[in-house]
Structure 1
Amino acid sequence: MTALTLILPIFGLVVVGWMASLSGLISERVGDGLSEYVFALAVPALIVATLTRPGLSGEIAWGFWASYFGGAAVAWLVGSLIGRQYKGVERRGAILHGFAASQSNTVFVGVPMILQAYGEAGAFPLFMLLAVHLPLMMGAATFLIESEGGRPLGQRLKALALVLAKNPIFVALVVGGAMKASGLSFSGIPKALVDGLAGTASTCALIALGAGLTRYRVLHDLPGAGVVAALKLGLHPLVVYGLAFHVFTMPPAYAGVATLFAAMPVGINAYLLAARYRTEQGLVAAAVLVSTLAAAATTVGWLMVLGRG
């Protein structure tokens, strides 16, 4: 019941957004606008507010990073190898198969889920992982895809830097980290504004995610999407769990955060990359939908394994 108490409000809001969009209560344009608001304002405000909160501190051992990204590397490799076996999937498509199998939905599901499950004990490792996850995963995917075109290393690194510099989440992590390092924090009206935006992040993110699910079609790409979803919801968190709890040493909350982070469904960034490079859009979009729906059940299982249910 504890696990269900955590899960139902979160995925319930996803269902509300999906039904509102499906019934025409909110239009596709409203859903897109809400997604832009969450990505550009609400979640960045939540990140800055959390990172500058007094008392938020901790130390991250290298085993924490090795556990999470070791699991991501295994899921990415297996996903890419399986993708290469499909007829008509070329190298870039196989890279995207692997990326989707290892790229977690951190903004729309991961942040509200993990903060609900671990509270203050999980806030520091969550946002530290979020800070590294975005540039490392997006950077690796972009670098691997761009390398196929034979572009010089300098051009590829410049393109990656521009992508990150324009990403509000990455900018918020840099600003929040700099303010924390310098001991600065908001007060008065600026604090009220930031807190007001941050307070809308979780609800708006989940509604926007649900509204966006109506545009995905899964029947044509269902078999491949099912494989990617299974790797994302099963293999990725399983490897992270094994490394975090049985190989490396770290606080239980840190190991739990890493495992839950890995157990999140396929992230929307995988679809954005597929659309950008015009390859495997259908399969990746279907994997986003299938994994998001399946995560409502698999997350309950992981919460019980982790002792949060």
Structure 2
Amino acid sequence: MPPFAETILVVFTLIAIGYGAAALRVLKPETGDGLSDFVFTIAVPLLLFRTIATANFDHGAPWALWVSYFTAVLVTWTSAHLMIRKGFGRDARSGVVAGVTAGFSNLVLLGIPFMSGLYGEPGLAVLSQIVSIHMPIMMGASMVLFEWAVKRDGAGGESKSVIALVTGFIRQLISNPLIIGILGGLLVRLSGLEIPVVADRVIASLANVAGPLALFAIGVSLRGYGIRGQVPQALAMVSLKLLLMPAVALGMALLLGLPEFQVKVVVAAASLPAGVNSWLIANRLDTGQRLASTSMTLGTALAAATTGIWLLIVDAVV
């Protein structure tokens, strides 16, 4: 058995337990929302804060890492947008939903515990470099394309001004708990100050539960979303997410000469399925909810196999 197989089994078993608990009504439906809120607003931001403040980043500036990952995002997002519009005859808003579904890896709720289990703190440190700009870039792109799609489809009133878009983006960014945790960790790191021992133990205690709770919460959430039709379209999006995106990330990482460890992390990150963000965008656009829900559910189930395959491929070529 490959060394990473145990981690994959543990990660997706925790998700399955959460799904089963929701299906059997062991937990109330709102319990899953509460767990997700705790993980997203407290546990994971503290984990990112502590990682960025204390981890050893010994690979230099992460420019090549960012280029490798976000080239994969761009290629996959564009391919999904064109496929859903040209191949399935959907409108521009559905194209935006498809792009998010195929290009937006679940780097936080799934990626953080997954990478921590695979590669420990060094893997989490590399992933945090991607997460640090992932949210701003994806939020910004989604907002701009949201406005373009609504205007293109003639589905809304007056479009927002550039100033309104920028101020709205900044407002969402500075109020995002993940961004607050990242910036806080960066400030502590740059200041050279050490986290007091008692404070560090409290932060670590809360941060250490982020992984298991996040995976359990994913399972509970998936039960609520489920498979809601549009299976052919969803399978097309999932194929791009789980096959094309990690392939492009691997190709770019090798082309740019990333260190072996960073190659493994960037491909593992790109191979993860989409999270709830695709459904949130679909709900905001008022179209593509079934596509996003079905893609998220099928993608998470299939990723249990495809992620392991990509890790085997990376081990073979680097």
Aligned to 2:86, the other structure's residue is in SS state coil
Match of 2:246 in 1: 237
Which of 245, 249, 256 in structure 2 is aligned with 1:248?
Answer: 256
Query: Across the two proteins, how many residue pairs are aligned to each other?
Result: 307
Is 1:162 the counterpart of 2:171? The answer is: yes
Is 1:304 the counterpart of 2:305? The answer is: no
Q: C-alpha distance in 1, partners of 2:88/2:122?
A: 46
Is 1:40 the counterpart of 2:49? The answer is: no
> 1:224, 1:283 within 8 Å by CA — same for their partners in 2?
yes
Q: Cα distance, 1:174 vs. partner?
A: 1.2
Q: Deviations over 1:96-145 (max 9, x none)?
A: 10121000001111111112222233233210111011110121111111
Q: Deviations over 1:238-271 (max 9, x none)?
A: 01101102x1112111111111110000122121
Q: C-alpha distance in 2, partners of 1:182/1:113?
A: 30
**More displaced, 169-178 or 119-128?**
119-128
Q: C-alpha distance in 1, partners of 2:311/2:107?
A: 17
Q: Which runs of 4+ in 1 moved over 6 A?
A: none
Match of 2:77 in 1: 76
Amino acid corresponding to residue 305 of structure 2 in structure 1: A
> 1:3, 1:304 within 8 Å by CA — same for their partners in 2?
no
Q: Cα distance, 1:41 vs. partner?
A: 0.5
Unaligned runs of 5+ in 1: none
Identical counterparts, % of pairs = 31
Q: Cα distance, 1:147 vs. partner?
A: 3.4
Q: TM-score, normalized by length of structure 2?
A: 0.92
> 2:68, 2:252 within 8 Å by CA — same for their partners in 1?
yes
Q: Cα distance, 1:284 vs. partner?
A: 0.5
Which of 259, 268, 278 in structure 2 is aligned with 1:270?
Answer: 278
Match of 1:110 in 2: 111
Amino acid corresponding to residue 62 of structure 1 in structure 2: W
Q: Deviations over 1:201-236 (max 9, x none)?
A: 000000000011111232512111111111111100
Task: Describe how 1:1-309 pairs up with structure 2 within 5 A.
Answer: 1=1, 2-53=3-54, 55-85=56-86, 89-148=90-149, 149=151, 150-245=159-254, 247-307=255-315
Unaligned runs of 5+ in 2: 152-158
Amino acid corresponding to residue 259 of structure 1 in structure 2: V
Relative to 1, partners in 2 of residues 1:54 and 1:296: Cα closer, same or farther, differing over 3 Å? closer
**More displaced, 113-122 or 92-101?**
113-122
**More displaced, 65-74 or 145-154?**
145-154
Amino acid corresponding to residue 273 of structure 1 in structure 2: I
**More displaced, 7-16 or 143-152?**
143-152
